[in-house]
Chain A
Amino acid sequence: MYNGLSLDQAPPISVVMRFFLTVPVFGILLCCVLLVDPYAVVTPAHPLSLTAIHLMFLGVITMAMIGALFQMQSVLGGRPIPSAAGNALLIHLFLTIGILSLAGAFAFNAAVLFIMASVFLGASILYSANLILPLLFGGVTHETLRGMRLALIALSFTAVLGVVMATSYANGVFSSMHEALRFSHYSLGLIGWIAALIIAVAFQVIEMFYVTPPYSIWCKRNVFRIIALSLVLKMIWLFSSLPFVWVFDLVMGALLLGFIVTTLKRLKIRKRRVSDVSIWFWIAGMVLLFVSINLYAAFIWNGAVELQRASLIAFALFSLSIILGMMGKIVPFLVWFHLNSAGYMDTPIMSNIIPSQRAKALFCLFVLTAIAALSGGFFPDLLILSALAGGAMFTLLLLSHVKALTLYRHTLRHGTRFEQV
């Protein structure tokens, strides 16, 4: 029993929202790249393909996830990020400049932009890790925080390998280790950073938001250990040019399949059957992850590059699905929480901050984008349709964020506070 939880931990609303507002902007930029030359985007190692990949995984996914980390660390960790507003401003600025530089570097093959991207992206990511990681060591017992710890370490190594590769691109000289670096870079980024963080978030929110039974203790305790060990061994195998590297992909694939099954099972047996668009996004995300794993397994089996491409697209869509679902929960919560903290009596309820019709429209656009993008992995012309649907989806997302912030500011100016009643 206690009555002394440290308060005043939640960062200002601007901390998270600056990241979330930038996400749809990069999403729209990605759709423009798809529209310019869809065939180039699906050509492996083509500069526009690398531009599109980094706009998606850094501009959309990492931007959203670092923003969410600022909120999650404060609420779950109980140890707030120091000077959150100033640090978020700096990290967001460097991340944005870095992503734009990297996208431009690939698109225009500009050496100076590769150097800029290395400096700004390396600085923002390593600075974020250095800022948040110390808060996640010592006395951390929450599985979500353990997952965040692994995700941040993996992101840091992804960034370091990315800087090494950017140097190669800038100089036009590639070492004999380039392929090992590339495979390690995307394994760490996709599984160590993105999948681990989504699993960590799922451990927290599936049970909390949807009143489901908790994930098993074994699963919570061991999933991050298995991911970390598989990634480390895979990198050793890659850099030593040892055979059977696919065994580690198999282990991680099996683990992710287990995660899909247990998550869908929990959503199916949830106690309350309230319709919530965020659940649809979770289900869609799990389906897309399932598709991604199977396409990748098929690629390992027969080596068809279309399968690898479609697997990557499905993985990106899986991540985007979870991010859109979570943003639909986090943004209304932030507006509601900060207005109530400031004592506003007429704070709108969360379901009125992002109306359900708008959330459903976003989901429909996401489904259209996903179907077109996945098909575009095999028939590149369909990427034009996915770019149009995606553009509409990201525009709606931006509009939704802006409207939520407008409502927040309007209540701040015109609302009635407790002491005024």
Chain B
Amino acid sequence: MILLDTREFDHPLPLEMAVEAFKKLSGDEVIHMIHRREPIPLFEIIAKNGGRYLSVMETEGLWHIYITRSRTVELRHPHV
């Protein structure tokens, strides 16, 4: 699991960081992004480039986003 905590970064750095990490993903690797809002544009980039994601709002202002390229890895959020 690659942890990517972008909560304290100004736009557009969280998006750029997530996409750069996604480009380097291989095999069954999963990115766990923690962000203060749901990064909707990121999902389109992931889905159009063969990736999958799971987006979970834990509380207001706290989102967990799981990203992978794997077809088989199950994406799930353990705390909900």
Given A3-B53, A350-B16, A418-B50: A341 and B44 interface contact (C-beta under 8 Å): yes
Q: B71 in the interface, Cβ–Cβ < 8 Å?
A: no
Q: Mark A166-190, 1 if CB is under 8 A from B, else 0.
A: 0000000000000000000000000
Q: How far is the CA of A253 from the CA of B74 in the complex (A)?
A: 54
A residues in contact with B9, CB < 8 Å: 211, 272
A10→B44 contact, CB < 8 A: yes
Q: How far is the CA of A350 from the CA of B8 in the complex (A)?
A: 18
A337→B41 contact, CB < 8 A: yes
Main SS class of interface, A: loop
B residues in contact with A3, CB < 8 Å: 52-55, 75
A residues in contact with B3, CB < 8 Å: none
Q: How far is the CA of A336 from the CA of B18 in the complex (A)?
A: 13
Partner of A271, one of B8, B45, B56, B77: B8
Q: How many interface residues does chain B have, given as a range? A: 20 to 34
Closest to B52 in A: A3
Given A3-B53, A208-B11: A418 and B23 interface contact (C-beta under 8 Å): yes
User: Among residues 24 to 80 in chain B, which have CB atoms less than 8 Å away from a CB atom of chain A?
Assistant: 36-38, 40-41, 43-45, 47-50, 52-57, 75, 77, 80
User: Among residues 326 to 356 in chain A, which have CB atoms less than 8 Å away from a CB atom of chain B?
Assistant: 329, 332-333, 336-337, 340-343, 345, 349-350
A341→B48 contact, CB < 8 A: yes
A7→B11 contact, CB < 8 A: no
Partner of B45, one of A2, A210, A272, A341: A341
Q: How many interface residues does chain A have, given as a range? A: 20 to 34
A211→B77 contact, CB < 8 A: no
Main SS class of interface, B: mixed
Given A7-B47, A7-B48: A1 and B80 interface contact (C-beta under 8 Å): yes
Q: How far is the CA of A276 from the CA of B44 in the complex (A)?
A: 26
What's the least CB distance linking A81 to chain B, in Å? 16
B residues in contact with A1, CB < 8 Å: 54, 56-57, 77, 80
Name, among B15, B45, B57, B75, the residue most crowded by chain A CB atoms within 10 Å (CB to CB). Answer: B45
Closest to B12 in A: A350
Q: B19 in the interface, Cβ–Cβ < 8 Å?
A: yes
A209→B10 contact, CB < 8 A: yes
Given A5-B40, A418-B50: A211 and B56 interface contact (C-beta under 8 Å): no
B residues in contact with A276, CB < 8 Å: 10
Q: How far is the CA of A5 from the CA of B41 in the complex (A)?
A: 11
Q: How far is the CA of A349 from the CA of B17 in the complex (A)?
A: 10
13 contacts between A and B (CB under 8 A): A2-B55, A5-B55, A8-B44, A8-B48, A9-B44, A208-B11, A209-B11, A211-B9, A274-B10, A340-B19, A340-B49, A341-B45, A342-B48
Given contacts A75-B40, A336-B12, 17 further A-B contacts (CB under 8 A): A1-B77, A1-B80, A3-B54, A5-B55, A7-B43, A8-B44, A8-B48, A10-B41, A78-B40, A208-B11, A329-B11, A329-B12, A337-B45, A341-B44, A341-B48, A350-B12, A418-B49
Identify the 10 closest CB pairs spanning chains A and B, nearest first. A209-B11, A340-B45, A1-B56, A3-B54, A343-B49, A7-B47, A350-B12, A7-B44, A341-B48, A341-B45
